[in-house]
């Protein structure tokens, strides 16, 4: 009965979306406010049902109608006439709330509309399947991505670390060619809308103009280069007879990382989270948060936030495993949940629709608490000597991640600018430029990145999220005596950030709160 009901309801939504498209085709969208109100009402219900189905799937492995509601949401957003109307309205909108609604929906409608065009949707779905698998093969044995990634970092055998790296990033030629084709076809679809390429379309709707994008890369490159080069030289000159490889980067800290992991057994992580969050004002047991916690090492690590209806029904599906990484994932997911619990906006746009930069920055804010020396000492009881060693390891890890993020950001830009070039050669050129590590042209790490399929310019959003988080931390240290154990942190976050949801652009909130525009100076520190 439930399947029939869900199918009928989805059919009604799809019929409404289809009739809306037919009306748009014949007469165009004359009132953008009416169109947005209608879309909001449909999305409010569709997102609610989709979240319930996602929860069922994550907690039971079974969902009657997940595919139906995903298709329903896709159909609502993939409307080229709505996209054109939003673009026109965005240029002329002067009323603040209407303009913000348009800003939030433009990138989402653009992605859906272009990826719904003939040929792209099938190609996109194929790449999603290839990039989303949570296992890979080592010596013919099927292992989870998480366990292979752990082997690349922790295994004492250099040969095994290399095998793990190659297992993670070996892809067949068809995936490489499909990615190249996706870049080309998205460019063609964007050109029909009047843009030079797909990157120009998406950057104009999300990250600003091309000059701002390239300036972001240059600034972060110049800030991180001196620190990274010093780290690189120390490793290269440390009596090594072979070239320093990516899979060697963490080896000097392997013992330290293993020692730290022992302080985070599965049965302590939820306790650490509840206690440390209570000490900054968030009492999880008194909030409308519903947790489903399991511990199963045979499946991938998971900490996923499901927003059923903000702020009244927020759920977390968590698979905890031993170690600090699991602790970090848990706090990240809880942070995103708290953003939706504390929102005070009636509009579905502003309470349920995320700005990717801001939502990720919120998760990072909470995640980074457990990397602070006073948090590690107070809650996990790490000795001071181990905390000092871990600080060096974490700095090296973060610096490499930033440099690799520059590789990904620049690669996506160049790939859309000229998708007909040898993209694998392009990737390794950028890899050696930003990391100074050897190239391996027989591998194609870029063709394993699901973000290129699902979140265009997503790596740029990650860089901005890290920067916003660093700036907020710096402000709290300068004006509130830090974060850990500070009862004023909840009031600070709720009053300045959370209660607004997505109503205001994150740059405006950040500047109003910290007293200065987004600054990259805090990122390295």
> In whole angstroms, how far apart are CA 262 and each of 297, 324, 506?
16, 8, 37
Q: Which run of H or E residues covers position 303?
A: strand 302-309
CA-wise closest residue to 64 among 105, 3, 22: 3
What lies within 8 Å, CB to CB, of 416 at 6+ separation is: 183, 186, 187, 197, 198, 199
372 and 510 assigned to the same domain = yes
Is 141 domain-assigned? no
Identify the CATH number of the domain in which residue 514 sits: 1.10.1370.30
The mean pLDDT values, 10 residues at a time, for the chain of 525 residues are: 42 46 46 86 95 94 91 90 86 74 89 88 89 80 85 91 92 88 94 90 76 87 94 78 88 94 96 97 94 81 90 94 94 96 92 90 96 97 97 95 95 94 97 96 93 88 94 95 93 97 94 94 82
Is 195 domain-assigned? no
Given 81, 116, 151, which residue is the final one in a domain?
116
Is 179 domain-assigned? no
pLDDT of residue 27: 40
Given 69, 90, 116, which residue is the final one in a domain?
116
Give CA–CA dist 228/235, Å, rounded: 11
Is 404 domain-assigned? yes
Distance of CA 309 to the CA centre of its chain: 21
Is 177 domain-assigned? no
222 and 337 assigned to the same domain = yes
* Percent of residues in the chain assigned helix, strand, coil, to nearest 5: 70, 5, 25
The domain total for the chain is 2
66 and 212 assigned to the same domain = no
Give CA–CA dist 222/216, Å, rounded: 10
Is 153 domain-assigned? no
**135-138/141-144 β-pairing:** antiparallel
Is 110 domain-assigned? yes
Given 116, 133, 151, which residue is the final one in a domain?
116
pLDDT of residue 29: 57
Residue 497 belongs to what domain range? Answer: 208-445+453-525
Is 178 domain-assigned? no
User: How many residues does the structure list for the chain?
Assistant: 525
334 and 440 assigned to the same domain = yes
């Amino acid at each position: 009965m439930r399947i029939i009901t869900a199918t009928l309801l989805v059919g009604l939504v799809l019929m409404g979306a289809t009739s809306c498209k037919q009306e748009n085709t014949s007469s165009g969208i004359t009132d953008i406010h009416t169109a947005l109100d209608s879309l909001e009402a449909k999305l409010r219900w569709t997102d609610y049902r989709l979240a319930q189905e996602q929860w069922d799937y994550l907690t039971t492995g079974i969902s009657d109608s997940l595919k139906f509601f995903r298709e329903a949401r896709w159909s609502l957003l993939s409307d080229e006439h709505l996209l054109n109307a939003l673009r026109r309205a965005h240029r002329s909108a002067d009323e603040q709330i209407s303009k913000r609604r348009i800003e939030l929906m433009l990138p989402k409608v653009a992605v859906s509309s272009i990826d719904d065009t003939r040929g792209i949707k099938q190609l996109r779905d194929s790449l999603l399947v290839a990039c989303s698998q949570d296992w890979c093969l080592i010596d013919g044995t099927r292992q989870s991505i998480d366990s292979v990634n752990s082997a690349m970092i922790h295994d004492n055998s250099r040969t095994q670390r290399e095998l793990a790296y190659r297992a993670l990033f070996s892809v067949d030629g068809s995936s490489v060619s499909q990615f190249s084709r996706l870049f080309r076809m998205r460019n063609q679809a964007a050109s029909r809308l009047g843009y030079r390429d797909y990157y120009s379309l998406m950057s104009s709707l999300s990250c600003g103009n091309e000059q701002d994008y390239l300036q972001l890369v240059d600034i972060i490159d110049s800030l991180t280069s001196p620190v990274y080069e010093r780290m690189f030289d120390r490793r290269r000159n440390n009596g090594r007879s072979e070239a320093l490889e990516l899979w060697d980067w963490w080896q000097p800290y392997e013992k330290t990382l293993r020692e730290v992991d022992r302080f985070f057994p599965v049965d302590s992580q939820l306790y650490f989270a509840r206690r440390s969050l209570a000490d900054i004002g968030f009492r999880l047991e008194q909030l409308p948060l519903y947790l489903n916690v399991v511990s199963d090492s045979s499946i991938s690590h998971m900490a996923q936030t499901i927003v059923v209806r903000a702020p009244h029904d927020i759920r977390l599906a968590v698979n905890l495993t031993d170690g600090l990484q699991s602790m970090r994932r848990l706090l990240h997911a809880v942070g995103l949940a708290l953003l939706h619990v504390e929102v005070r906006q009636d509009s579905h746009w502003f309470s349920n629709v995320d700005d990717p930069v801001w939502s990720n920055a919120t998760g990072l804010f909470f995640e980074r608490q457990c990397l602070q020396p006073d948090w590690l000492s107070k809650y996990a009881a790490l000795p001071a000597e181990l905390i000092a060693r871990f600080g060096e390891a974490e700095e090296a890890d973060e610096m490499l991640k930033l440099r690799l993020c520059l590789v990904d950001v620049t690669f996506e830009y160049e790939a859309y600018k000229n998708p007909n070039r040898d993209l694998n050669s392009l990737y390794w050129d950028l890899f050696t430029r930003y990391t100074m590590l050897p190239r391996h042209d027989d591998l194609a790490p870029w063709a394993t990145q699901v973000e290129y399929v699902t979140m265009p310019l997503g790596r740029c959003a990650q860089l901005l999220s890290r920067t916003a988080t660093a700036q907020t931390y710096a402000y709290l240290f300068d004006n509130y005596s830090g974060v850990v154990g500070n009862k004023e942190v909840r009031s600070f976050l709720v009053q300045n950030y959370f209660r607004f949801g997505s109503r205001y652009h994150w740059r405006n909130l950040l500047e109003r709160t910290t007293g200065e525009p987004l600054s990259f100076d805090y990122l390295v520190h």
